[in-house]
Structure 1
Amino acid sequence: MLIEQDYSMYTEEDHSTWASLVNRHLTENLSLTSKEYQNGFDLLRLEGNDKVANIPSLSEKLKEVSGWKLIPVTGLIPTKDFFYQLINKEYPVTVYCRKPEELDFSELPDIFHDIYGHIPLLTNEKFFRFLTKFSILALKYAEDPMAVEFLGRLYWYTFEMGVIWEGGELKPYGGAIVTSKTEIENLNSKETSIYPFDIHHILNTPYNPYALQSQYFAVRSFDELFYSLEDLEEQLIKNLVYTSQTSQVPEHHNIKLNTALSTNFKNVIGFLNDIQFKFPKAVSLAAGQPDESYFKIDEINEYFESYIDYLESKSNQSRDKIANSVGQYAKTQGIINEILCEFLRKDENITVKEHQVIVTVGAQEAFAVITATLCNREEDVILMEDPTYIGLGSFSKTFDYETDYVGTSDTGIDLEALEEKILAHRERKKNVKLVYVIPDHQNPSGASMPVDKRLSLLRLAEKYNFYIIEDSVYNSFTYLDKTLPTLKSLDKFRRVLFVTSFSKSVFPGLRVGLVVADQQVMGTDGNVISLAHEMVKVKASLTNSTPTITQAILGGLLLRQDYSLSKYNYEKLQSYRNKLNTTLECLDKYIGSFTSTWASDISWNRPKGGFFLSLKVPFELSDAEVVKCAEDFEVIICPMAYFHQKGGGKNEIRLTFSNLTPQEIETAISRLAKYLEASIAVRSQGAKADAK
């Protein structure tokens, strides 16, 4: 509260206490303070005063020196008022004088602390510029208690407990420390920490005003103090957003997750990534990544330019305008559809029109668009191979689409079991709308579907009125002289939705895939409409469009390769073939050589393409076994159970070789063999002990 200083209220005891405080300050403290403080002290002629200071008289002196004036108050004033006064070069001074028993410390603000502690620095232009700029920001956040808490720390470690380097020595300038001999001595204690002046550190360092300080933050000049405020608001906002004050933040919010994200929701990729991180020396036979030595990232600018050349040849616009237009929002359906149609004709023997192709963000978005366009949650079922790649299954589970699974063999999906499932769901008044298959070098098993079985599947689709999602990511990675025809190339009934991605054939960071949807369907209004057109509507609600820059890169690559990736991937294909052969040779060498002893119950398939093969072992594999194998034998494995939805695959391992060198493959297989031999031996000993 603002008042007039009633000088008559001070008693002889007050004057005596004042004189004692001033004398002690002059004889014990002053010489130990900073030169900046001492200069202000001298300018205001504060020495030798044996009566309580006259605030109006001292205010006149201060105003002559620096333009500041003193405002008498009864005690602490509201935060907002305090900083408003500082902005206007008004400093509040408490009229209360501490009692004799409070000579060493007064919990309440008092006139001696305000005048001898703070007023001298109000003569220093650099310091009061800092104080004014600080106050402007503090006033801006004065209504936020948390912000006031953080800013109070900066005020405390400068205006109250500030220290500065002078001639290689630490000197105090803050009001609380210059008026306390004990605090000055504490500054040089071995137990005290001296930190460089750092706004982030200060805002995150609480303080105790009733105890000797355990740390101080030293500036090298008041210029440093002033310029430190340039980052203050940015640091303050970060602290307000990411506050470490857990008492202010609830431990959790009362918002329930999608019930599909239950304990049964498998985060296989996350688990295997964690294993790789924890055991960096382990060689991974689990990650189905393409070989990054073939990515040719340094050529993507050339591909982009080739695509711009292509557009320029078809346009009257300037090259710059054409190139910049590629960065603009674009057609949801895609901008390279014409190029992709020619690619599909050449490499996949699929003939479609531009409007029947949708460019997607990888294959995963393709699955999402197909499902969301075609399936009604209350009526429809999606059937998938078991085991299978987890992409479509995870999406369907997350968004509550009903799925069911059909067993497989080394020739793909079991068609007899598929037909039984369809009929069983019809008994439930449910309609099988989609059947998802990977007919070529399946992930995870490596199995391929022969041509006669492909034709039979197409006939079933026509008979029972469902669509087949053909995931054809691995079709081009066939290590025989001739690839099998895709389901779509055989599809005279237009029952196949062809999905592929360029993650394996080019590189995953491209994030470009496609859907071929050449079907006509019945709309909700009874009219016949284009399925692709309806899918574009759904895609628009998911991603708006596939990134045009990566589309342009892919388009340019295909143009430079005459619309085919066959020659582009030839060397890569030979490398993968050699890696598969190396894997099989190593399995024969390190495991197959011991089939008469410990490896008698171990077997594996011999795929003709893709990135995967399956190994059967005579014991079940848990997450704990994966960890043990990585930790003790330095090889990471992937249980096939991760890809089974009906409880199978517990004694099978998916092996992948695609991103390993031949030397790494041999190391990994030899380590795997040691793990298997040791695990089988332990179980054999346990069985013998049980028999006894």
Structure 2
Amino acid sequence: MSGGDIDIQQTGAGTLDDTLDDRAGPRPEPAAGGAGLRKEDLHASVSSPVLDTMNFLNEITLRYPEAISFAPGRPYDGFFDNEQIFTHIRRFLDHLAAEGSTPQDVRTAVFQYGPTAGQIQDVLADSLRVDEDIDVPPESIVVTVGAQEGMLLVLRALMGGPDDVLLVSSPCYVGITGAARLLDVTLTAVEERENGISCDDVEAAILAEHARGRRPRAFYVVPDHSNPSGTTMDLKARHALLDLAARHDFLVLEDTPYRLVSPGTPLPTLKSLDRERRVVHLGSFSKTLFPGARVGFVIADQRVVDADGRGGLLADEIAKIKSMVTVNTSSLSQAAVAGALLASDGRLSELNTDAAAYYGRAMSSVLAGLDRTIPADRRAALGVRWNRPTGGFFLRLEVPFRADNAALTRSAQDFGVIWTPMSYFYPEGGGEHAIRLSTSYLTTAEIEEGTARLARFIAAESAAAR
């Protein structure tokens, strides 16, 4: 995250700036209207705490490199092979040739700017059909720079005026709340219950927004092993949410990064159950293939009709916006992703069998480590508890003390363990007494030592809070 920082090298004589300061005397403050800018004149989003969260975690990680970190929701590096990239790209180039592309066509496909909406939609549509039972035309898919760009583009397309509102679960992935703040989109949080989101709560929020004269445009949800709390919607709740969307005329933004890297048979996606085109599906290959590709996609098969009655797809409108943001998604990255899909006949679930088993074991190891280091009688006395996700990368742990940045700093400095404050994920405040643990990136040995350190930290903070 600090790749753009400039490192000014120092010598025994000091920096060049020091020498100039000695000669010229004190440097004056920038004059108003000159190069100096006032933060209050910038967009309000740059002062949002949401945009500072990752920077703070990165700073803590760099400051305490020996600490074991349960913070990053990253895939495990052990599944990556340097030669995979070349194999995947070569397979896609061979595929293009087999489909009748000339050598010049193939060169253009990887070296030139590509179509804004992407150039691997046919491959993606085939994969979605065989692996997820999502049957949509290729033209309804927009290939994006990760799911994060997809969120930004979809919000920009859907939110047409100041009275349009985005509903989100709370706690919620910071990427969607950050995108909303960048675009000045009004957010309304729907508090998550112990077992996930309740459709009754969503409906109550919708009715309240209507009473305020506002229009709930969409509801964002991660139905499978959500980030940050790890909850999963059951099948009944999925059908109920789709019925609710039809009754109250809003869209569901479905984000699904963890379902194919979790053990067991996943529940159907909301999009595969969608019969009225109520779901805009956000997909990503960051967890299922590799995050360095930065390739995601949006399925937007909703019809859009203009004032003259002419129609098209929401995907077309999203592509127009993308043309002014990133122009197109990297052709080489698309080639690598498509090559991997072709190699597995589109079955990402089978390609990720080993990864899903690994992440399942990692989650089980963290839960076992917590059980061992904070046994039932001890956690009852402390007022500590945690949920038990069946997959994904994250779980939620509640503590009797304030789990803020100051506590995180003490945890890293004095106990050598890093975690993420859950308060980062509450768009309207909350979560001050809970932490998020990521289970994906650590080895079994690191998990064992890390949970022991975490238990000692929790005991010390709980005693201090009494």
Pairwise same-fold verdict (TM > 0.5): yes
> Which position in structure 2 is the counterpart of 1:372?
156
Matches within 5 A, 1:542-553: 542-553=325-336
The residue aligned with 1:606 is 388
2:401 equivalent among 600, 616, 619:
619
Shift of 1:595: 2.4
- CA pair 204-309 structure 1, distance change in 2 beyond 3 A: same
How far apart in 2 are the matches of 1:258 and 1:285?
32
> 1:598 touches 1:677 (CA, 8 Å); kept in 2?
no
Q: Distance in 2 between matches of 1:541 and 1:455?
A: 36
> Of residues 669, 675, 678 in structure 1, which corresponds to 2:451?
669
Spell out, residue by residue over 1:158-192, the C-alpha distance to the aligned partner (whole angstroms, 9 max, x if none): xxxxxxxxxxxxxxxxxxxxxxxxxxxxxxxxxxx
Counterpart of 2:98 in structure 1: which amino acid?
Answer: S
Structure 1 stretches of 4+ moved >4 Å: 200-209, 243-251, 263-266
- 2:76 is equivalent to residue 291 of structure 1: yes
Q: Which amino acid aligns with 1:665?
A: I
* Alignment-derived partner of residue 331 in structure 1: 115
Distance 1:298 1:568 in 2: 16
Kept in 1, the 8 Å contact 2:230–2:393? The answer is: yes
Which residue of the other structure, out of 286, 292, 297, is the alignment partner of 1:509?
A: 292
Q: Deviations over 1:490-541 (max 9, x none)?
A: 0011100011100011111110001111111233555433211111111111
Deviation at 1:477, TM superposition (A): 2.5
Q: Secondary structure at the match of 1:395?
A: helix
Aligned with 1:398 (options 179, 182, 200):
182
Preserved contact between residue 251 and residue 278 of structure 2 (Cα < 8 Å)? yes
2:373 matched residue in structure 1: 590
SS of residue in 2 equivalent to 1:618:
coil
In 1, the alpha carbon distance for the partners of 2:329 and 2:142 equals 9
From 191, 204, 218, the equivalent of 1:420 is: 204
Matching residue of 2:89: 304
2:154 alignment partner, SS class: helix
Q: Distance in 2 between matches of 1:444 and 1:347?
A: 25
Cα 1:609–1:324, aligned 2, differ >3 Å: closer, same or farther? same
Q: CA deviation at 1:660?
A: 0.1
Whether the aligned pair in 1 keeps the contact of 2:261 and 2:352 (CA below 8 Å) is no
2:142 is matched with 358
For residue 130 of structure 2, give the secondary structure of its aligned residue in structure 1. helix
**Which of 47, 53, 61 is residue 262 of structure 1 equivalent to?**
47
CA contact (8 A) 1:497 1:516 kept: yes
Is 1:629–2:405 an aligned residue pair? no
Corresponding residue for residue 277 of structure 1: 62
* Structure 1 residue 299: Cα displacement: 1.3
Task: Measure how far apart 1:244 and its partner are.
Answer: 12
- Kindly state the Cα deviation for residue 414 of structure 1 after the two structures are TM-superposed: 2.1
1:528 aligns with 2:306: no
Given that residues 335 and 551 in structure 1 are in contact (C-alpha distance below 8 angstroms), is that contact kept between their aligned partners in structure 2? yes
Q: Which amino acid aligns with 2:78?
A: S
Task: Tell me, yes or no, if structure 1 residue 343 matches structure 2 residue 136.
Answer: no
Question: Larger RCO: Structure 1 or Structure 2 (Cα < 8 Å, ≥ 6 residues apart)?
Answer: 2
Contact 2:261 2:392 in 1 (8 A): yes
**Structure 1 unaligned blocks of 5 or more:** 1-193, 210-242, 685-692
CA contact (8 A) 2:144 2:329 kept: yes
Q: Tell whether the 8 Å contact from 1:638 to 1:653 is kept in structure 2 after alignment.
A: yes
- SS of 2:261 mapped into structure 1: coil
Shift of 1:470: 0.2
CA contact (8 A) 1:605 1:615 kept: yes
User: Does the residue aligned with 2:238 lie in a helix, a strand or coil?
Assistant: helix
Q: How far apart, in 1, do the equivalents of 2:414 and 2:403 lie?
A: 15
1:640 aligns with 2:422: yes
In the TM superposition, what is the alpha-carbon distance from 1:306 to its structure 2 partner? 0.6
What is the CA-CA distance between 1:429 and the residue it aligns to?
1.6
Provide closer, same or farther for how the CA distance between residues 208 and 247 of structure 1 changes in structure 2, counting only shifts above 3 A.
closer
Taking a change above 3 Å as real, the CA distance of residues 525 and 413 of structure 1, as seen in their structure-2 partners, is farther
Name the CA distance, whole Å, in 2 between partners of 1:445 and 1:378: 30
Amino acid at match of 1:644: Y
How far the C-alpha of 1:286 sits from its partner, in A, is 1.2
Structure 2 CA distance for aligned equivalents of residues 615 and 316 of structure 1? 54
Deviation (angstroms), 1:344:
0.4
Q: Cα distance 1:326–1:664, how it changes in 2: closer, same or farther (>3 A)?
A: same
SS of the counterpart of 2:111? coil
For residues 544 and 647 of structure 1, the distance between their equivalents in structure 2, rounded to whole angstroms, comes to 36
| TM-score, length of structure 2 as denominator length | 0.91
Q: 1:593 to 1:203 in 2, by over 3 A?
A: closer
Aligned to 1:494: 277
AA paired with 1:340? L
Q: In structure 1, what is the equivalent of residue 102 of structure 2?
A: 317
Superposition deviation, residue 652 in structure 1:
1.0
Q: Distance in 2 between matches of 1:327 and 1:361?
A: 17
**Structure 2 unmatched ranges of 5 or more:** 1-11
SS in 2 for 1:468: strand
Distance of aligned partners of 1:207 and 1:621 in 2 relative to their CA distance in 1, 3 Å threshold:
closer
Match of 2:338 among 555, 571, 575: 555
Q: Rg: which structure is higher?
A: 1
The answer to whether the 8 A contact 2:262-2:357 is kept is: no
Aligned AA (1:279): Y
Shift of 1:647: 2.2
The count of residues paired between Structure 1 and Structure 2 equals 451
Kindly provide the CA deviation profile for residues 94-144 of structure 1, in whole angstroms up to 9, marking residues without a partner as x.
Answer: xxxxxxxxxxxxxxxxxxxxxxxxxxxxxxxxxxxxxxxxxxxxxxxxxxx
Partners of 1:362 and 1:263 in 2: CA distance: 22
Q: Percent same amino acid at aligned positions? A: 36
State the secondary structure of the residue aligned to 2:192: strand
State the SS of the aligned residue for 1:260: helix
**Residue 353 of structure 1 aligns to which amino acid in structure 2?**
P
Q: Is the contact between residue 285 and residue 655 of structure 1 (CA under 8 Å) also seen in structure 2?
A: yes
Quote the Cα distance in structure 2 between the aligned partners of 1:617 and 1:202.
Answer: 50
Trace 1:152-167 onto structure 2 (pairs within 5 A).
none
Match of 1:467 in 2: 251
